[in-house]
Structures are given as structure tokens and as C-alpha cells.
Amino acid sequence: MKKPDILKEIVAKKKERLLLAKQALPLEELKARIQGSSPTRPFLGAIDKPRTISLIAEIKKASPTAGVIRQEFNLQEIIRVYQDAGAQAISVLTEEDYFGGNIAYLNEAKGIFSGPVLRKDFILEPYQVYESRAFGADAILLIADLLTQDSLSELVLLARELGLACLVEVHTEKELRKVLKLKGMNLIGINNRSLRDFEVDLKTTERLFPLIPKDKVVVVESGIKTHQDVLFLRILGVAAVLIGEAFMQATDIRKKVEEVMGW
């Protein structure tokens, strides 16, 4: 039996949510909010450190396959733990229906965490880029599989104008070719998870990493659970790992961060 295309469902729901968001907070209001906001924190500089591997620690309450990952979800406490554990950046899932996120989490994170904050969501159009900036993100995740070459270029350009970094995520060689065509794109994410069926395969990184030019900064996402995984990626030359589920499932988040990162 063919598995359902989870990504298709998420995108359909996201489009409905976007219509409501635009009514509640029109684009002009978002732009006005941005006018008075502080400069963004440098995302690339925070995670690209020589001879080490950085951590982008993720806040993720639920997922489409695992359901609720963390029952005791105290947002402020989780952010403080990540801060104290020494994470270089944090990723905040803001998708409401499948991941239990909320865009308001960005501002909360920004108030507690001293480093840059990445908004992780299913970004489809310019409104969401303005929204990310207005709610306090320093960087956004763009998913190559979701966007045409033109849309991707348009969103990257707009993000740069607003001072946001873009982490563009790929899962296949075809998607990587699309991203490498982008002008000045130096931050690439390899997602070991297929967003079509949510299966995870660490061999995705082994396959794609050698195809990425050495001057690019590479972040690896999904399926990273042990210090061995992190060591392997560090030896490979990966700049940063984005880890959520392994930490969110842990009773003691700080202990888990230290164990996985070897800190």
C-alpha cells in the first residue's frame, strides 16, 4: 500500500493557515513592525567555526510520525537549558498543526537565548519571510523540494534584504543541483529525512556531502542521536548539526546535549 504523502497534507494545511494569518496581520502591518525592530544576529558566523562542529538545538513539541514528543513542554525552560548547555544557535519549529509550534515562540526564544534563532517551517511565499523577520527570527529554513527555482531565488533575495540568513535544505541530488544554482548561496542543509514519507537514512549525508563545493557551509539535519554520529559528521567536514528529537525525548535535556555533542 502506498504511504500517504505527508508533505502534501502539511502544505495544504499551511496554505489555509496563511490565508488566516494575512487577515489577522496584513503584510503592511508586518512591514511596519520590521521598521522598528533590532538588527538580526549573525547566523552563519555563529555556526561556522574552524576545527569544530556547532550545534543548532531544536525546539520541537511534536511531529507527524511521532505525535507529541515532549509531554512536559516548558518552552522557556528548554530555551534556558540550550543556552546553558552552549548551543551555538536554536531552531524553533513554528508549524502549528503537525509539529505543535507557534510563531510567537520565536520572540520568546529571542528574549532568553543570546545567539541566533532559526525559524523552521514550511515557507512558501514572501509573506512568511516578512513574518519571520517581524517575529524575531535571524534565519529561516527553506525547503528546496517545496519551491521552484524562481520561488527559491525570490525568497532568498528577500530574506537577504531583510537581514535574514537562509538555510536551504536538500534531500536529493536533484534538489542540491537546484540550490547550487542560487547566487551566493553558501549555507546548505542536508536533511536525512524524506519529507514525503518521513523515513530517515543517514546515508543521505554520505551521498550528498561529497557533491557540495568545499566553500559551502553544511548543516546536517535529522537522525543524529549519538556522539558517534556527531564525530562521523565532524570528520566528514560538516559545520553544524541540527538536533531536535533526541533532546526533546530526553528526561534531562542538558545531559543529553553534553552526551551527544561530547561537551
Find cell 534531562 and name the residue: 252
Q: How far is CA 150 from CA 124, 177, 179, 186, 211, in A?
A: 12, 14, 11, 18, 22
Backbone angles phi, psi at 23, to 5 degrees: -75, -45
Catalytic residues: 58, 60, 120, 169, 191, 221-222
Contact 229, 220 (CB under 8 A): no
Measured between alpha carbons, how far is 235 from 205 in angstroms, rounded to an integer? 13
Measured between alpha carbons, how far is 76 from 150 in angstroms, rounded to an integer? 38
Burial state string for 213-223 with b = 16 or more CB within 10 A and e = fewer than 16: eeeebbbbbbb
